Amino acid sequence: MSRAADRLKVVLNHLDRSHGAVRASFTSAQNVSYHHPQVLQYTSDTGVLTPEQRIAYEENGFILIRKLVSDQDIDRFRKEFERICKREVKVPGLVVMRDVTIAKSEYVEGEKAVTKLQDYQEDLELFRYCTLPQILKYVECFTGPNIMAMHTMLINKPPDTGKKTSRHPMHQDLHYFPFRPADRIVCSWTAMEKVHRGNGCLVVLPGSHHGTLLEHDYPEWEGGVNKMYHGVRNYDPNHPRVHLEMEKGDTVFFHPLLIHGSGMNQTDGFRKAISCHYASSDCYYIDVKGTTQENISNEVKELAAKKYGVDDTVTFQDTWALRGRLVQGDRASM
């Protein structure tokens, strides 16, 4: 039995209340020393995560799995994205987002760049990502066996125009979600090509998932900010941060309270990633009225009214229930 496995056994049996150091590897190139917690609340022992990975997620709020998705699958997702940009396929419910500044499109001359696809659950090819067995076996460690795919995105970070609009403010994903508990929600984010600091890789604040949901709003950036890119109002700028540099097919799983964002794309090319937020189907919806989430709730309802012509009887929770798709197990309260 490894040292980490032996220590994990002690933790789970509540026998050791000391603060012995654990060396947790969350990427192949970065090692940071942390103290292990008294209990493990964020993962289940399904035999997939190693003891080291479980402890790392507990402490950091994320784990990085190298080469989890094949080049063949990613190339297929990339081709489908191109077809959507060229309007060769129309996807019901798909939200196509473009940069607030003029950015040259990859595929259609004279158009602004598509910077993100949201809600691709009706696109059979892209949604295949959310059902990949190698993804779901990890997701189950965080959500349990009954799994809903709740939020789907393909991010196409464009070359920055000089106004810094290609960056994404530091935020917590739970800000957007009217369901709980947070510990049964996880994001899977896969690099579709090499992702590095130059083209705007993810940056995370390890351990920030131990905090609460903070107030979010649009940052006051001189160059403007893209629609629904809310940011954390107040967080410690001196908190240690990690830049997640990834290769094509690498996948990071992270907690919805983890504070994260991404920098500018300072290259000449687009940077692509595909992601899905999963939740246990045993999660439940909450009323966000009167909370820090009310601003995003109102914005989403306004968008739904504009895009689909729905009236104000449609709730924030309804918009999520319509998008959710069962991908494993049984559908319970979600």
pLDDT block averages, 10 residues each, the chain of length 334: 50 36 36 54 95 96 98 98 92 84 62 85 98 98 98 92 73 94 98 96 96 83 59 86 97 97 89 97 94 88 72 82 94 88
**174, two tokens:** 């739970």
**Contact criterion met (CB below 8 Å) for 141 and 114:** no
Taking the C-alpha atoms of residue 108 and residue 126, their distance in angstroms, rounded to an integer, is 20
The pLDDT, as a whole number, for residue 98 is 79
**Contact criterion met (CB below 8 Å) for 185 and 143:** yes
- Max Cα-Cα span within the chain: 65
Helix (H) or strand (E) holding 244: strand 242-244
**Contact criterion met (CB below 8 Å) for 73 and 129:** yes
Strands 260-262 and 168-171: antiparallel
Closest CA to 224 of 95, 44, 331, 103: 103
DSSP class per residue in 276-319:
EEEEETT-EE---TTSTTHHHHHHHHHHHHHHH---TTS-HHHH
The pLDDT, as a whole number, for residue 100 is 59
Taking the C-alpha atoms of residue 220 and residue 224, their distance in angstroms, rounded to an integer, is 8
CA dihedral 155, 160, 164, 169 (to 10 degrees): 10
Reading phi first (left if > 0) and then psi (alpha if -120 to 50, else beta), residue 200 is in left
**Contact criterion met (CB below 8 Å) for 116 and 155:** yes
Residues 6+ apart with CB under 8 A from 295: 216, 217, 230
Taking the C-alpha atoms of residue 166 and residue 282, their distance in angstroms, rounded to an integer, is 36
Q: Look up the pTM and report it.
A: 0.85
The pLDDT, as a whole number, for residue 251 is 98
Taking the C-alpha atoms of residue 122 and residue 91, their distance in angstroms, rounded to an integer, is 6
Q: What is the CB-side half-sphere exposure of residue 279 using CA atoms within 13 A?
A: 26
Taking the C-alpha atoms of residue 167 and residue 148, their distance in angstroms, rounded to an integer, is 29
The pLDDT, as a whole number, for residue 160 is 80
Specify the domain boundaries for CATH 2.60.120.620 within the chain.
Answer: 63-328
The pLDDT, as a whole number, for residue 17 is 31
Strands 284-285 and 231-232: unpaired
- Name the packing angle between helices 316-323 and 294-308 (round to 10°): 60
Q: Regarding the domain with residue range 63-328, which homologous superfamily does it belong to in the CATH classification?
A: q2cbj1_9rhob like domain (2.60.120.620)
**42, two tokens:** 């964020």
By 3-state DSSP, what share of the chain in percent is helix, strand and coil, each rounded to 5? 25, 25, 50
**Contact criterion met (CB below 8 Å) for 169 and 215:** no
The pLDDT, as a whole number, for residue 319 is 85
